[in-house]
Amino acid sequence: MSNNGVNGREDEINRKRRHTSDEITAFRELEEDEDNELLSLSLSFRPSRGRRISSPGNSHSQQPSLTLPSPPRPPISQSVQQSSMSIMQNLLRKPPPQLTLQPSPSHQIYIPSLSMSSQPVVYHEPEPQPAPRQTRTRRNPTQAPGEGKSDTIPAPYPWSTNRRATVHNLEYLLSKRISTISGEVQCKRCEKQYEMEYYLRERFDAVATYLLEKKSGMHERAPSIWMNPVLPTCRFCEQENSAKPVISKKREINWLFLLLGQSIGCCTLDQLKYFCKHTRNHRTGAKDRILYLAYLTLCKQLVPSGPFNC
Ligand SMILES: [Zn+2]
């Protein structure tokens, strides 16, 4: 199968993105501080995230009827499995939105090497999304600077709330037919930047199961697999452990994407402290402690009634 056409299109997109990225970088120096954004308010361009090729079709209406089979799971203890299942079942009393995603032939399937996350990852071509992204807005430059940080911000992603470092719960997301979570990654080797996405339910199930199974042995510290995440293989140069999540401004960190990729550990200590600060976890300590809290807190945001208490 020839991918020349696809690659050509992607290269084109990447060139455009890089161009935009350069422009952003030039201005980003002006907004080193996450609250110093007023300087960049008059920018007329949008980050590449907003660019999307639209097509008349809606992905839901194009769903094939084939139901996604249950992905293979690593062996887990019965109690954990039941616990995890009950979370899902309680949450999903209503019929779940169709989970009938069928990768098109142009998709590549990535099977992570992590045993606890053997869920498929779909590399995403620029095509319609289940849910439209919200247009991101910046504060009006004519507004006077506030006296302090506001608690609310424009939601940076459809799966984010307008509270910093906070995502919608799973029930809400599935009710809105948000079944995949996308994010930007950049290869550490060839440096190409592109978008990939995870299936929300499958990946969350894997993370939650792993957390609940291992929690008692973690002693409130993130295990090494979270401290040093195994990254996806680059879609372009096929370098293993190389597609690193792009993390820019703190308020725009794609926390749910990082959770599903079990790559929150790519954040710096400072970024993790930002998360804890805005999610009422006023704890200090080494990175492994704060990282553990970040995983736990995000799982709790997704399933507020679940067993994810600190
Ligand atoms: Zn690469």
Q: What share of the chain in percent tops pLDDT 90?
A: 48
Centroid of ligand 1 to alpha carbon of 193 (angstroms): 9
Centroid of ligand 1 to alpha carbon of 150 (angstroms): 38
Six token digits for residue 194:
């592109």
Q: What is the mean pLDDT of residues 141-167?
A: 77
- Nearest-CA neighbor of 195 among 224, 158, 235, 228? 235
Measured from the Cβ of residue 234, the count of other Cβ atoms closer than 10 Å reads 23
Q: pTM value?
A: 0.60
Centroid of ligand 1 to alpha carbon of 188 (angstroms): 7
pLDDT at 80 (0 to 100): 46
Per-residue DSSP letter, 174:
H
Which pLDDT band, with edges at 50, 70 and 90, does 15 fall under? low
Res 193 pLDDT > 50 = yes
Centroid of ligand 1 to alpha carbon of 67 (angstroms): 32
Q: What is the mean pLDDT of residues 304-309?
A: 91
Centroid of ligand 1 to alpha carbon of 305 (angstroms): 40
Residue type, 245: P
Six token digits for residue 176:
């809105």
Centroid of ligand 1 to alpha carbon of 189 (angstroms): 5
Res 218 pLDDT > 80 = yes
pLDDT, tens digit (0-9, with 9 covering 90-100), for 247-303 = 989 999 999 999 999 999 999 999 999 999 999 877 778 999 999 999 999 999 999
Q: What is the mean pLDDT of residues 165-189?
A: 97
Res 107 pLDDT > 70 = no
Centroid of ligand 1 to alpha carbon of 237 (angstroms): 4
Which pLDDT band, with edges at 50, 70 and 90, does 89 fall under? low
Measured from the Cβ of residue 5, the count of other Cβ atoms closer than 10 Å reads 9
